[in-house]
Structure 1
Amino acid sequence: MKTITVQRLAEVFKLEVLTGAGYMDREITRPRTHRPGLEFVGYFDFFPMKRVQILGRKEITYLLTRTVEERKLHIGNIVKYHPPCFIVTSGQQEIPFLTLFCEQEGIPLLRTSETTTDFIAKLDGYLVKALAPEVSIHGVCINVSGIGILLRGKSGIGKSETAHTLIRRGHRFVADDIVVLKRLGPATLLGSHNETTREFLALRSVGLINVVRQYGRRAFQDETRIVLDIELTPWKGDSLNNELEVVPQFIDYLGVQIPHIEIQLQPGRDVAGLIEAAANNWYLKQLGYSAAEEFMKRIEDEMRS
């Protein structure tokens, strides 16, 4: 299971540490935050205790309206579950009672000046990516006209060279050699680099090039949603079909089904052009258009006429 520490969270979002500096190594394992509400009135049946707890103006104002004894009861009931940390938003100051409880239980209490809604949106997005299940595979990741493609094949088959051609045609490079795949949801797969290889593309007979230095910032992006898996394979004679529409195939990565196609290599084939065609064809299918269906309809119309 992937985890991040409260210390890392504080560094990324520049959070002020109010108390619990000695417990910043506490681990966060859940990808979303929680605003305690029903817990303040004693309902804990579905309390997500392992999530980061956010206290906005609504929560703090409610606590300030309670008597000292009621306040102790409400806060005490929550801190005894030992969530990873509490974060107070909107730079709120009237929270010494909360600081005391967190000190006693060894729970970090942090503060941000950002509003509750904006901060939760940013933090949830960050946690989903940081804690997402991931796997590293050998291949190339590139964004073709806004469509994320995972390009695979045996070493030396020409993946990087094909990616270089696509970059020169105006498409965006994401990763070479090692592609990190993250599962953000049941149907969402994110492709990225592993930081070490960021911006680098290895070309046989040429060597390592920095894509941003050679082709500019627009030629690179850190990540892309993968929607198409393309495998480059050696030419196999008569094995390629010539049907009007290829039977859909899929490949599974971390439980996410991705459309898969195979492109066989032969001298003279415009592989980069075929990848562009595959990307555009995938996009048109998402809009409900099928060239094969339109072609058959034309034939039927001609026969009827």
Structure 2
Amino acid sequence: MAKVSTKDLIEKFKFELVSGEEGINRPITTSDISRPGIELAGFFDYYPAERIQLLGKTELTFFDKLSRDEKMYRMEKLCTDITPVIIISRGMDVPPELIEASERESVPVIKSPSKTTRLSSRITNFLESKLAPTTAVHGVLVDIYGVGVLIIGKSGVGKSETALELVKRGHRLVADDCVEIRQEDEDTLVGSAPELIEHLLEIRGLGIINVMTLFGAGAIRNFKRITLVINLELWDQTKQYDRLGLEEDKMKIIDTELTKYTVPVRPGRNLAVIIEVAAMNYRLKRMGVNAAEDFTKRLSNAIEYGEHEDI
């Protein structure tokens, strides 16, 4: 899991740091945001101190009605040694009691001119992206007609060469050799290339080539949602391969299952065209058009009609 600090948050959204500068390197470990209204009322039994604390107009209007002693006590309780940051929305004035407590406990206090709900939404989206579970897969990721296709297989089976042919056919390379994958939602996997090998493709006999330099900016993408896996394997005479496509294999990456097709490799097969058609066929299936099922129904009807004719 990636690490995010309060400093990253300040730099990303251009927040104004008010106090507690010593704590700007505190880690943010969750995308959940707390609006501590009940805590300002004095109930700290279930205070989620590890979350970002967001104070809006409602919280600060209530806080204004407290006595001086209550204000000091509540802010001291709000600023703990694990609180990553306290944010004041709508550009409102920061209470002096909060500044005093934050300086003492080194809890950063920052201001934003944005409205509270919008600010909460923007920060949550940013953190969910940064803190999403991640993994790395050996393979090639290509954007084919809007479908993110992850091509996997043993080393030397022809993944990179197939990707090069797909790029020549107008599709876009995302990553070669190593695909970094993060799960942004329950069923959403997004793949990208490690920074070191971004836009690069390794072709045995040629070496490293820069796809963007050779084919232009339209031949690459920085990231793409993965929806289909193509497994390339050397042709096995003893293995029975699917010839109708009625059953779909699945491959689980992190917590998401993806449709997987196994394509046997042997001389004379144009893998780029096969994968291109697989991506188009996958899109058709998602739109409700299934050629295999349609053929099976027609075959069943033909058999049934033939039996009736015999009678």
Q: When the two structures are superposed, what TM-score results if normalisation uses the length of structure 2?
A: 0.87
The answer to whether the aligner puts 1:229 opposite 2:229 as a matched pair is yes
1:61 is paired with a residue of what secondary structure?
helix
Distance in 1 between residues matched to 2:282 and 2:37, nearest whole Å = 45
The answer to whether the aligner puts 1:85 opposite 2:88 as a matched pair is no
Q: Which residue of the partner structure matches residue 11 of structure 2?
A: 11
Identity score, percent: 34
- Return the index of the structure with the highest Cα Rg: 2
Q: Which residue of the partner structure matches residue 164 of structure 1?
A: 164
Q: Which residue of the partner structure matches residue 239 of structure 2?
A: 239
Q: Which residue of the partner structure matches residue 203 of structure 1?
A: 203
Cα deviation per residue 1:239-266 (whole Å; 9 max; x = unaligned)?
3435322422112222322222111112
Distance change >3 Å, CA 281–CA 68, structure 1 → 2 = farther
Distance in 2 between residues matched to 1:290 and 1:43, nearest whole Å = 58
Larger deviation: 136-145 or 86-95? 86-95
Q: Is the 8 A contact 1:176 1:200 kept in 2?
A: yes
Q: Superposition pairs for residues 156-195 of structure 1, below 5 Å?
A: 156-195=156-195
Q: Is the 8 A contact 1:248 1:260 kept in 2?
A: yes
Counterpart of 1:211, as a letter, is: V
Q: CA deviation at 1:73?
A: 4.4
Q: Is the 8 A contact 1:82 1:105 kept in 2?
A: no
Distance in 1 between residues matched to 2:273 and 2:133, nearest whole Å = 33
Q: Which residue of the partner structure matches residue 122 of structure 1?
A: 122
Distance in 1 between residues matched to 2:290 and 2:45, nearest whole Å = 50
Distance in 1 between residues matched to 2:163 and 2:75, nearest whole Å = 56
Larger deviation: 56-65 or 182-191? 56-65
Q: CA deviation at 1:143?
A: 1.6
2:7 is paired with a residue of what secondary structure?
helix
Q: CA deviation at 1:64?
A: 3.0
Q: CA deviation at 1:106?
A: 1.6
Distance in 1 between residues matched to 2:217 and 2:152, nearest whole Å = 25
1:262 is paired with a residue of what secondary structure?
strand
The answer to whether the aligner puts 1:141 opposite 2:141 as a matched pair is yes
Q: Which residue of the partner structure matches residue 63 of structure 1?
A: 63
Q: Is the 8 A contact 2:246 2:292 kept in 1?
A: no
Distance in 1 between residues matched to 2:23 and 2:94, nearest whole Å = 23
Cα deviation per residue 1:138-169 (whole Å; 9 max; x = unaligned)?
11111212211211112222111111222222
Distance in 1 between residues matched to 2:243 and 2:133, nearest whole Å = 38
- Count of aligned residue pairs for this structure pair: 305
Question: Can you give the 5+ residue segments of structure 2 that lack an aligned partner in the other structure?
Answer: none
Q: Which residue of the partner structure matches residue 284 of structure 1?
A: 284
Question: Can you give the 5+ residue segments of structure 1 that lack an aligned partner in the other structure?
Answer: none
Q: Is the 8 A contact 2:7 2:24 kept in 1?
A: yes
Distance in 2 between residues matched to 1:8 and 1:236, nearest whole Å = 51
Q: Is the 8 A contact 1:2 1:29 kept in 2?
A: no
Q: Is the 8 A contact 1:17 1:111 kept in 2?
A: yes
Q: Is the 8 A contact 1:139 1:159 kept in 2?
A: yes
Q: Is the 8 A contact 2:148 2:228 kept in 1?
A: yes
**Over the residues paired in the alignment, what is the CA RMSD in angstroms?**
2.5
Q: CA deviation at 1:278?
A: 1.7
1:48 is paired with a residue of what secondary structure?
coil
Distance in 2 between residues matched to 1:115 and 1:103, nearest whole Å = 25
Q: Is the 8 A contact 1:192 1:224 kept in 2?
A: yes
Distance in 2 between residues matched to 1:263 and 1:81, nearest whole Å = 55
Counterpart of 2:190, as a letter, is: L
Distance in 2 between residues matched to 1:79 and 1:216, nearest whole Å = 52
Distance in 2 between residues matched to 1:24 and 1:71, nearest whole Å = 24
